[in-house]
Amino acid sequence: MKSQLTIEIEKIQKNLWDMSQYLYENPELGDQEYQSMKLLTKFLADHNFNIETGIVNRDTAFKAAYKSGKPGPTIAYLAEYDALPGVGHGCGHNMIGTIGVGAGVILSKLVDEIGGNVVVLGTPAEETNGAKVPMSEEGTFDDVDVAMILHPGDQSYESGEALAMDAIQFAYAGKSSHAAASPEEGINALDSVIQLFNGINALREHLPSDVRIHGVISEGGQAANVVPDKAVANFYIRAKERTCLDEVVGKVKNIANGAALMTGATLEISNYELSYDNMITNKALSNVFTQNLHETSEQPIHPAKQGYGSIDMGNVSHVVPAIHPYIGLHEKGLIAHTKEFADKTITKEGRQAVADGALSLAQTGYDLIVDKALLTKVQNEFKKG
94: confidence class by pLDDT, cuts 50, 70, 90: very high
pLDDT in tens, 110-169: 999 999 999 999 999 999 899 999 999 999 999 999 999 999 999 999 999 999 999 999
Domains of the chain, CATH where assigned: 4-162+277-384 (3.40.630.10), 164-271 (3.30.70.360)
- Percent over 90 (pLDDT), the chain: 97
* Burial state string for 185-222 with b = 16 or more CB within 10 A and e = fewer than 16: ebbbbbbbbbbbbebbeebeeebeebbbbebebebbbe
H or E element: which one contains 353? helix 348-370
306: confidence class by pLDDT, cuts 50, 70, 90: confident
pLDDT in tens, 191-213: 999 999 999 999 999 999 999 99
pTM score, whole prediction: 0.92
* Burial state string for 297-331 with b = 16 or more CB within 10 A and e = fewer than 16: bebebeebeebeebbbbbbbbbbbbbbbbbbbbbe
H or E element: which one contains 359? helix 348-370
User: Do residues 150 and 79 lie in contact, with contact meaning Cβ atoms separated by under 8 Å?
Assistant: no
247: confidence class by pLDDT, cuts 50, 70, 90: very high
- At 385 the pLDDT is 77
Bridge-partner residues for 175, per DSSP?
Answer: 187
CB atoms within 10 A of CB 2: 13
The pairing of strands 230-239 and 164-173 is antiparallel
Q: Is 117 helix (H, G, I), strand (E, B) or coil?
A: strand
Asked if residue 308 has pLDDT above 90, the reply is no
- At 99 the pLDDT is 98
Max alpha carbon distance in the chain (Å)? Answer: 84
Q: Is 311 helix (H, G, I), strand (E, B) or coil?
A: coil
Backbone torsion region of residue 203, taken as left when φ is above 0, otherwise alpha when ψ lies between -120 and 50, otherwise beta: alpha
- Percent over 70 (pLDDT), the chain: 100
CB atoms within 10 A of CB 340: 12
pLDDT in tens, 48-81: 999 999 999 999 999 999 999 999 999 999 999 9
d(CA 314, CA 140): 15
